[in-house]
Structure 1
Amino acid sequence: MTETQEETVRRLPELKERHLPGDCREAVHTLLKGTYGYEQFRDLEVYDDLFKGKETLHVSQGQLIESVIVEAEKARNGETDVDNILLTAPTGAGKSLLFQLPGIYLGNEYGLLTIVVSPLKALIVDQVEGLQDLGYTRVAYASSDLSPEQKNEVYRQVREGEVDLFYLSPELLLSYDIKHFAGERRIGLVVVDEAHTVTTWGKEFRVDYWFLGRYLQGLKKNLGYAFPLFALTATAVWNPKGGNDMVFETIRSLQMEPCVLYAGTVKRRNIGFDIRQMEIEEGETYDKAKQRVVAGRVDDFLDGHKTILYYPFAGGIDMRLKTWVQPADWRLVASYYGKKDKEQKA
């Protein structure tokens, strides 16, 4: 099949024109200050229209939050023309605020439930505990790390209106009828975090995410009302012609069409790479030289900084801890990888 034929067969999903509000409502500003302690929203840099070029514009977090709330209010009022939103933005851009704040507002104002679907347990726990540390208690999660009794207590809190922002994995969501979690609560918003995992292009593809779009479409029909779908990711390749495209495959997979797209720039201006050729001194083996260089850098970094060392294999981590860390008597050093037990990970 030629490229032209493939494009004809593989129609691009429809994108809706963006209509950003000038600002968000005062109640959201109040929540921003009261919940997070922030005085103002940050700006995100997004492409104006990637079909035409790489010109960018700046969009306030507040504008995006207001857009999400407006779509949820349209659904609550019985309107059927409710926009879904896909945002791509780099790590560190404040994406979690963009769905947490609408969820908090919709719960406070209307008693609506926001469901956050995320594939990463560690990320779920981090976000939930982060909100709880800030003093917001109407948030909870369910995962395989919880006992059946703990999960049942969380479900009770969700059903009885004690929780407005509910995190869970796609596997868990797809395993039960929605009433198992939500009871008769009305869903105001569904968030899909790390949305790139619905695409088959990346190594992070999750099979359960493949069925998520169909599940959510069926859910709207079964419930008899609409709700906006807000998908976010830091990893989405733009290639409308097909190869390795992640933006449009995400829209297709989650059945978000028609969709409002905010494609953010992915440059991380606050990250740099310092790459140096390692010099091996006379009489040193390669491994000894590497140990000396890394030890010097770690001593440097441990002085008031958080530092992450990545290793390609888990086995190498424990070996380095024994041969480098313990002899150097480094304190406050820990390791983390998949095969550790729950207590060690925590």
Structure 2
Amino acid sequence: PDTERVMRQFRESNCGKCDYCISKRDPEIALKRWFGYDHFRKFGGEPLQENAVKAALQGQSILAIFPTGGGKSLTFQIPALMAGESVRGLTVVISPLQSLMKDQVENLEKKGIADAVYINGLLSMIERKNALERIVSGEASILYIAPESLRSKTIEKVLMGRTIVRIVIDEAHCFSAWGQDFRIEYMYIADFIRQLQAKKGVDTPIPVSCFTATAKPKVVSDIADYFRNNLGLELKLYTTDAARTNLHYTVLYRNEDEKYQTLRNLLNESDTPAIVYVTRTRTAENIAARLNRDGLQAKAFHGQMDTRVKVQAQDDFINNRVRIIVATSAFGMGVDKSDVGLVVHYEISDSLENYIQEAGRAGRDVNSDADCYVLYNDDDLNRHFILLNQTKLTLSEINQVWRAVKNLTSKRSKITISALEIARKAGWDEIRDVETKVKSAIAALENAGFIKRGMNSPCIFATSIVPRTMDEAVDKI
């Protein structure tokens, strides 16, 4: 361990004079080598990308707020690739969306970079095994995982065998209860890092990089306080006030009967890829079907769809097999498509933060202009209040979960049980987004010191043979 520590210090320091440091520790040379760019992007004349990359190379923990389409992925990928080459280090990227992980790994592969892998529910058992083997062998220097995977014993085991050089949290606004995309699983990240450091016997804290595109002051404060209070890390803030000047915003007041015709007109006037945002899953399906009947090629995308259907819809849109995607807010974070020229909000977004995120999917090529429209009427706000009340967690519901847990643990102190089973024990049958509500209640009880949630212990039972013929079985293998 001491030899490894000394060698790592040598390899990660930069004198700026010797051949090694000039060729291996210069971020602009790395930028040109891996991504083909001569210089980092600037925002309002400020070298935000370059500053964040240099801070990471110096071992700092950072919070970077980049404009949508500002190249934040490249900002953590360059230090990760450099660390993989110099010390065979692994950078763990925690990302909230499966499709986002897949896109980023595939985008790197298109550039000839085969150093990244992702592990999530989209992979078959064989693909997952191959990804794990690449991590264990040291071939991979970037691992994308969802926050839910941090409780996996398998993930913990493979990470124990690697030098973890950095933890990257993408879409870091998911940390804050003030953010519209709050994810309760993010609150386990500090415990995971602390336990990993303890088991590895690491004296120096693993540095952290947090990235987000939009964050109001309260959200920024929540993120910084979380890491300060839980890990003793001070995050250095990198941000800019530069605006997206290539986006043009228009609000059109339309009643429900007028909205669809207005949408059709906007789509017919544009020949670029377009995103139409709606509030409800049923609306996404209906509008996509109606557009197809009217000769406009469109696909729906929402959180209630089968995962593989969602991924196929996103792939078709990214690769220009379909021009229009009609989606709820489930579509957006991390979608990297440079030629989107039109974003239409068929209904008003549920927050200004989400609107900026969603509208920012357009015009990611800063040299091209794009249009962002909102089709607004007063009923849109009423829908959001209804949805908000349906998803709100009450003290009464937390108590119901607590009683269910007490009953389940009356004869033994440790149990392995799913969120849906707890919901049934709590008497919840038809509650919107029940699994998220149970997990939120469990997190509240854990924070209050009533319970302790451990690592996940999934069990797989084979109930039938899926392939119908030997040929199908061979194809799957």
TM-score range relative to shorter protein:
0.7 to 0.9
Match for 2:226 among 253, 262, 281?
A: 253
Q: Does residue 1:62 correspond to 2:50, yes or no?
A: yes
Query: Residue 119 of structure 1 contacts residue 169 of structure 1 at CA under 8 Å; is this kept in 2?
Result: yes
Distance change in 2, residues 1:85/1:290 (3 Å): closer
Q: Determine if contact 1:195/1:231 at 8 Å carries over to the other structure.
A: yes
1:104-123 equivalences under 5 Å are 104-123=81-100
Confirm or deny: 8 A CA contact 1:89 1:266 kept in the other structure. Answer: no
Q: CA RMSD in A?
A: 2.4
1:236 match:
215
Residue 153 of structure 1 deviates from its aligned partner by: 1.8
Question: Number of matched residues?
Answer: 286
2:274 to 307, 314, 323: 307
Taking CA–CA contacts closer than 8 Å with sequence separation of 6 or more, which of the two structures ends up with the larger relative contact order? 1
Alpha-carbon offset, residue 44 of structure 1:
3.8
Partner of 2:472: none
1:1-346 residue pairs with structure 2 within 5 A?
Answer: 27=24, 28-44=27-43, 58-71=46-59, 83-176=60-153, 179-225=156-202, 226=204, 227-238=206-217, 245-254=218-227, 255=231, 257-265=233-241, 267-278=243-254, 287=257, 289-301=258-270, 303=271, 305-323=272-290, 325-331=291-297, 333-345=298-310, 346=312
How far is 1:266 from its partner? 6.7
AA aligned to 1:311 is V
Report if aligned partners of 1:196, 1:205 keep a CA contact under 8 Å in 2: yes
Query: Residue deviations 1:228-266, cap 9 Å, x none?
Result: 11111123221xxxxxx1112112223353232223337
Aligned-partner Cα distance in 1 for 2:239–2:210:
12
Deviation at 1:335, TM superposition (A): 1.7
Task: Provide structure 1 residue ranges, at least 5 long, that are not aligned to the other structure.
Answer: 1-20, 46-56, 72-82, 239-244, 281-285
TM (norm. structure 1) is 0.76
Question: Given the two structures, how large is their TM-score scaled by the length of structure 2?
Answer: 0.56
Q: What is the alpha-carbon distance in structure 1 between the residues aligned to residue 304 and residue 156 of structure 2? A: 34
* Preserved CA contact (<8 Å) 1:138 1:163: yes
Cα deviation 1:12-58 (Å, max 9, x = unaligned): xxxxxxxxx99x9654323322322212111245xxxxxxxxxxx72
Counterpart-to-counterpart distance in 2, 1:139 and 1:326: 37
AA at the equivalent of 2:179: G
Unaligned stretches of 5+ residues in structure 2: 1-14, 313-477
Is the Cα–Cα contact under 8 Å of residues 29 and 40 in structure 1 kept in the other structure? yes
CA gap 1:256/1:327 in 2 versus in 1, 3 angstroms: same
> 1:53 aligns to what?
none
By percentage of residues, which structure has more helix?
Answer: 2
Tell me, what secondary structure is at the counterpart of 1:58? Answer: coil
| Residues 85/25 of structure 1: CA separation in 2 closer, same or farther (3 Å cut) | farther
Report SS of the residue matched to 1:291.
helix
Shift of 1:100: 0.5
